[in-house]
Amino acid sequence: MNYGLIQAVVSREWRTRVLKPSFLLATLLLPVVSIGFVVGAILLTESAEVNNTVLVEDAPGLISRLDRASGQYVPRCPGCFPERQNLNYHFTQEAPADSIWQAEGHTVLVEYDGSILQNQSGYLVYEKSPGASAKRNIERDLSRAMEHARVLESTELNWSAYQALKMNVNLVDRGIEKGQRVKGGGDEIRGGIGFMFSALLLLVLMIYGGVIMRSVVEEKANHVVEVLVAAVRPEELLLGKVVGLGAVAVTQLLAWTILSSLGFSVFQFLFDSGTIGQAATLGSGEVPADLLTLMAENDGLSHLLDIQWSVMIGGAIAFYIGGYLLYGSLFAAVGSSVQSEQEGQGMILPITAPLMFGYFAATMAVENPDLPILEWLGWFPLTSPVIMLVRIAGGVALWEVALSWALLMLTARLTLGLAGRLYRFGVLHDGSRSGWKLLVHWMQGHGK
């Protein structure tokens, strides 16, 4: 291998693509658009929230009483109506006309009669809808207040005693490893993270595999290739092309990661400073918290800390490289055997079928990471890149990761050699024949 020549090919492939205005635009625009979309959605949600002043018409007097000191009706169970953002409650036991309660500044009227305890139904009256979220909160608060009323009316228990009797069973996962109990659970969360890595890998392989194929077809079409293969061995040219385009992919992913991280940091700063996103936390009556604390306190998100991130990131990079070399060389071989991109599209399906199968298997792995078939697919080089990323996230022995990767790299090396051989025949082939028969013909060493 002449690494100087490979480097020249890599450099050309990288420069001609990365320095294109369309590439720069796509690379800069995607994170900006994505972050803008998220922030926009939050701001839109905030601006859409309206202050609701709710008048509860408690005609049967089930949940309110007259406070003699203030002369106002107040809830019998103040804790049942917690302070909520954009939701203020007032109570009455009279039945005011709509024009009157509206003139008093109320936006919503809750109306029911004594049968509510049986049929559990009442009315929400308004001119402008309070919104689905506000309606849910009103229903929740009213239900609790009615529950309180029924407890007091139909049992001898007081409310505190009733609350103390309520049960909420929580099962904490415990796994067994080497005869020892260890922390368990969180399979879905960890599997989901692995699946995200797999999905991204699939996306990169499909996009950049297509770019490799197009590039080979283009070089055949503009007749540059004969000059190239006269100077560079087809295998070197192929490797340079695959690595060069891989470098373009890495550049784009890196740029997206950095820009997205910056965007997330800005979002986090704004969140923590209360500029955006604090409405929900304040409204629920909790102490305002920073974003990371909220994540750490979340049961599901805490499982993220269980993932061996060094193995996960290292494994992802290793399997991206192996998968990319393997599939990239296959895409190049297809490109060399066809005369147009459209022709190549028809031949891609059988190549990507194992990858797609692996992807669907990875979706199963999210639910059940210990399926035996996943172990086998993790050894099979055509599916291992997508499967192993899910398995690594779920927790797998390091030797399994290393062996699976070694098998993948060995296959990638053999495929690269085979693709180079096909490429040698294919790039100079300008006949009308193309397709799998031709590729098999070349594999047997018959070329022109």
Q: Residue 440 interacts with another protein (CB under 8 A)?
A: no
Assign residue 435 a region (left: φ > 0; alpha: ψ between -120 and 50; beta: otherwise).
left
Compute the least distance from the CB of residue 218 to another protein, in Å: 8
Q: Residue 231 interacts with another protein (CB under 8 A)?
A: yes
Closest CA relative to residue 82, chosen from 280, 319, 285, 365: 285
Compute the least distance from the CB of residue 302 to another protein, in Å: 50
Residue span binding another protein (CB under 8 A) among the ranges 4-12, 172-180, 302-310, 321-329: 4-12
**2 versus 257: smaller Cβ distance to another protein:** 2
CA distances from 305 to 85, 183, 190, 318, 354 (A): 32, 12, 10, 22, 32
Compute the least distance from the CB of residue 9 to another protein, in Å: 8
Compute the least distance from the CB of residue 228 to another protein, in Å: 7
Out of 42, 311, 428, 443, the only residue in the binding site for another protein (CB under 8 A) is 428
Q: Residue 5 interacts with another protein (CB under 8 A)?
A: yes
Whole-number Å distance between alpha carbons of 199 and 187? 17
Compute the least distance from the CB of residue 323 to another protein, in Å: 28
Compute the least distance from the CB of residue 11 to another protein, in Å: 8
Q: Residue 230 interacts with another protein (CB under 8 A)?
A: yes
**5 versus 282: smaller Cβ distance to another protein:** 5
Closest CA relative to residue 376, chosen from 391, 395, 363: 391
* Contact predicate 376/219, CB 8 Å: no
Compute the least distance from the CB of residue 260 to another protein, in Å: 29
Query: How many CB atoms neighbour CB 43 within 10 A?
Result: 13
Out of 16, 129, 265, 284, the only residue in the binding site for another protein (CB under 8 A) is 16
Whole-number Å distance between alpha carbons of 419 and 216? 12
Whole-number Å distance between alpha carbons of 18 and 11? 10
For residue 431, which phi and psi values (nearest 5 degrees)?
Answer: -80, 180
For residue 89, which phi and psi values (nearest 5 degrees)?
Answer: -100, 140
Assign residue 394 a region (left: φ > 0; alpha: ψ between -120 and 50; beta: otherwise).
alpha
Whole-number Å distance between alpha carbons of 210 and 218? 12
Residue with tokens 């992913």: 253
Count of positions on this chain that bind another protein (CB under 8 A): 25
Tell me the CB-side half-sphere exposure of residue 357, using CA atoms within 13 A.
Answer: 16
Q: Residue 26 interacts with another protein (CB under 8 A)?
A: no
Q: Residue 33 interacts with another protein (CB under 8 A)?
A: no
Q: Residue 121 interacts with another protein (CB under 8 A)?
A: no
Q: For 159-184, b where at least 16 C-beta lie within 10 A, e where not — what string?
A: beeeeeeeeeeeeeeeeeeeeeeeee
Out of 229, 301, 356, 407, the only residue in the binding site for another protein (CB under 8 A) is 229
Residue with tokens 């709710």: 54
Q: Residue 233 interacts with another protein (CB under 8 A)?
A: yes
Q: Kindly identify the residues of this chain, within the stretch 167-226, that bind another protein according to CB under 8 A.
A: 222-224, 226
Out of 25, 227, 266, 313, the only residue in the binding site for another protein (CB under 8 A) is 227
Compute the least distance from the CB of residue 186 to another protein, in Å: 48
**224 versus 296: smaller Cβ distance to another protein:** 224
Closest CA relative to residue 447, chosen from 432, 433, 428: 428
Residue span binding another protein (CB under 8 A) among the ranges 188-196, 228-236, 378-386, 413-421: 228-236
Residue with tokens 């373009």: 248
Amino acid at position 243, single letter: V
Out of 118, 430, 431, 432, the only residue in the binding site for another protein (CB under 8 A) is 430
Out of 228, 250, 289, 351, the only residue in the binding site for another protein (CB under 8 A) is 228
Contact residues for 425 (Cβ-Cβ < 8 A; gap 6+): 336, 442, 447, 448
**6 versus 116: smaller Cβ distance to another protein:** 6
Q: Residue 3 interacts with another protein (CB under 8 A)?
A: no
**179 versus 445: smaller Cβ distance to another protein:** 445
Q: What residue ranges bind another protein (CB under 8 A)?
A: 2, 4-5, 8-9, 12, 16, 20, 222-224, 226-233, 424, 428, 430, 446-448
